[in-house]
Amino acid sequence: MKVVITGGTGFIGLRLARSLLQRDHLTGPDGKPAIIDEMVLFDAVEPVERPAGLDARVSIVSGDISDGETVRDLVDRDDISIFHLASVVSGGGEKDFDLAMRVNLDGGRHVFEAARSRQGTPRVVFASSIAAFGGDDMPEKVGDNTKQNPQTTYGMTKSIGEMMINDYTRKGFLDGRSARLPTVIIRPGKPNAAASSFVSGVFREPLNGVDFVLPVKLETLMPVLGYRAIVDGIIALHELPGERLGTDRAVSLPALNVSVAQMIEALNTAAGERSLGKISVQPDPFIEEIVASWPLGTHFARATNLGLPREDNLEDIVSYYIADYLETS
């Protein structure tokens, strides 16, 4: 079978690709295990160098996801699964509404329509976000039964994507699943345009010996999850029989509901004898306004009952980031 990952050369996209290659198989559209013999990583820009850990089954394609013909060309087999991760992130979406609409909304519909055009019902996993929640009446903790009232353009496009997945599945066009992600930690490399980028930066920069300016207050609360559990959860959601999901195909992944102060405490504990950069607090009104529109925590009993994974604590997440990206460099 073929696998297409949009946003495939991003951090989560590449980790997902490598995990799938090691796994070697997925459940195909016919419900039976199928060997992965082809994989396409699609992204807006092709990397300068081919990323490590990709074998001959993998091709990298660059292009505009808002172009329907480009997307249809990717989805050229009936025995296919699609992981739709491509997105303009939160801060970028607030600064450029038209770009977010073109990439997130139009691009998502092109992906779903391409899947619809194939024979059978290919499985499509859509990466959504807890930014789909918001508004004056949002409870402190949200879950699969919470009303969605997003207060960012990014969150709005994610909420619409979830509804499209549900309806395309109801109509029998595809077999869709939406993984509603908390903030992913710890992302290596440089900060991106996401308003939540500081949640990785507060770990990553000090571990690299770089001072870090925190743009929110220490008491700020956020649900987070490590990248290993995110990838494992996305794959597990793909593999679930559709009848276990029912009519609502969106699942809030399990998360750790923590404060920024707790993040820093976990950093200091897991770092051990490492010399860390200093952390100072300098709130940024733009970032704080966006973060304030998000939930303080999540409920995830449904995800737990479905067997989706979660780390036990923040210290574990910091420790495997050190092992994956610092001790091997």
pLDDT along the chain (329 residues), means of 10: 97 98 96 97 94 97 97 97 94 91 97 96 97 94 95 95 98 98 92 82 96 95 96 98 97 96 97 95 92 90 95 95 85
Residues belonging to the chain: 329
pLDDT at 40: 98
**Which burial class, exposed, middle or buried, applies to 275 when counting CB atoms under 10 A from its CB (0-12, 13-18, 19+)?**
exposed
pLDDT at 224: 96
pLDDT at 329: 53
321: annotated active-site residue? no
Domain ranges, ordered by start, for the chain: 2-184+224-252, 185-222+256-296+312-326
Which amino acid belongs to residue 32?
K
Bridge partners (DSSP) listed for residue 181: 129
From the candidates 154, 168, 227, 321, which is the catalytic residue?
154
Distance, CA of 26 to CA of 82 (rounded, Å): 11
pTM: 0.94
Of the options 3.40.50.10130, 3.40.50.720, 1.10.1750.10, 3.40.50.620, the CATH number for the domain spanning 2-184+224-252: 3.40.50.720
Q: Which CATH architecture has domain 185-222+256-296+312-326?
A: Alpha-Beta Complex (3.90)
